[in-house]
Amino acid sequence: MKKTLLSTLLLSCLLTACNNEKITVENTSAKADNPHITETEKADEIAQAKALLLAKWQGPYQGVPAFDKVTLKGLIPAIEEGMKINLAEIEAIAHNPDSPTFENTIVAMESTGKDLGRVFTYWGIWSSNQSSPEFREIQAEMAPRLSAFFSKINQNEKLFSRVQAVYNSDEVKSLTSEQQRLVLLTYNGFARNGATLEGSAKKRYAQINQRLAELHTQFGNNVLADEESYVLFLSKEQLGGLTESIISAAGSAAEAREHKGEYAITNTRSSMDPFLTYSTERELRKKVWNSYYNRGNNGDEFDNNAIIAEILQLRHERVGLLGYQNYASWRLEDRMAKSPENAIKLMEGVWPAAIARVDEEVADMLAIGQAQDGIEKIEPWDYRFYAEKVRKAKYNLDSDEVKQYLQLNKLREAMFYVAGRLFNYEFKEITDGSVPVFNPDVRVWEVVDKTTKEHIGLWYLDPFARKGKRSGAWATTYRSYTTFEGSKNVLSSNNSNFSKGVNGQPTLISWADAETYFHEFGHALHFLSSKVTYPTLNGGVRDYTEFQSQLLERWLATDEVINNYLVHYKTGKPMPAELIAKIKKAAAFNQGFKTTEYLASALVDMKFHTVDPTGINAQKFERDTLAALNMPEQVVMRHRSTHFGHVFSGEGYSSSYYGYMWAEVLTSDAAEAFAKAPDGFYDKDVAAKLVKHLFSVRNAVDPADAYRAFRGRDADVKALMRDRGFPVTRD
Q: What is the DSSP string of 281-325?
A: -HHHHHHHHHHHHTTT-SSSTT--HHHHHHHHHHHHHHHHHTT-S
| Same domain for 505 and 456 | yes
* 139 within domain boundaries: yes
Do residues 118 and 208 both lie within one domain? yes
Residue among 4, 57, 12, 6 nearest 488 (CA): 57
Strands 455-464 and 474-479: unpaired
Is position 323 within any domain? no
H/E element, 233: strand 232-234
| Rg from Cα positions in the chain | 25
Distance from chain centroid for Cα 555: 20
The closest of 115, 711, 38, 690 to 421, measured between CA atoms, is 690
Q: Both 289 and 436 in a single domain? A: no
Contact 437, 444 (CB under 8 A): yes
Q: Are residues 242 and 206 in the same domain?
A: no
Domain count, the chain: 3
- Whether 48 maps to a domain, the answer reads yes
Q: Which one of 247, 269, 293 terminates a domain?
A: 293
Residue 264 parent element (H or E): strand 263-265
In a domain, 167, yes or no: yes
- Domain membership of residue 707 (yes or no) is no
Q: What share of the chain is helix, strand, coil (3-state, %, to 5)?
A: 60, 5, 35
Residue 474 lies in a domain: yes
Same domain, 83 and 219: yes
Q: Which helix (H) or strand (E) holds 445?
A: strand 443-449
Q: Are 210 and 288 within one domain?
A: no
Q: Is residue 708 part of a domain?
A: no
Name the nearest CA neighbour of 194 among 77, 317, 105.
317
CB contact at 8 A, 479 and 485: no
**pLDDT attached to residue 35:** 63
The answer on 419 and 550 residing in a single domain is: yes
Rounded distance between C-alpha atoms, residue 401 and residue 481, angstroms: 42
Clarify whether residues 58 and 184 are in a common domain.
Answer: yes
Looking up residue 164, the CATH number of its domain turns out to be 1.10.1370.40
Using DSSP's 3-state secondary structure scheme, residue 103 falls into helix
Give the type of residue at 325: Q
The answer to whether the CB of 663 falls within 8 A of the CB of 547 is yes
pLDDT at 560: 96
Residues 261 and 183 in one domain: no
Both 195 and 285 in one domain: the answer is no
Q: Is residue 665 part of a domain?
A: no
**Prediction pTM value:** 0.85
Could you give the dihedral angle defined by the CA atoms of residues 612, 616, 619 and 624, in that order, rounded to the nearest 10 degrees? -50
pLDDT at 25: 30
Beta strand 443-449 pairing with 425-429:
antiparallel
**Considering 556, 590, 606, which residue would you say is the last residue of a domain?**
556
Which helix (H) or strand (E) element contains residue 399?
helix 399-403
Domain housing 133: 5-223
Where among 197, 223, 249 does a domain terminate? 223
Same domain, 434 and 469: yes
Same domain, 219 and 246: no
Mean pLDDT by 10 residues, the chain (731 residues): 39 33 31 67 92 97 97 96 98 98 98 97 95 92 93 94 97 97 96 92 94 94 92 96 92 92 92 95 97 96 98 98 96 93 95 96 97 96 96 91 96 98 98 97 98 97 90 93 92 93 85 95 97 94 90 96 95 94 90 96 98 96 97 97 95 92 95 96 97 96 95 93 84 55
Q: What pLDDT shows up at residue 1?
A: 45
Q: How far is CA 669 from CA 1, 680, 713, in A?
A: 36, 14, 10
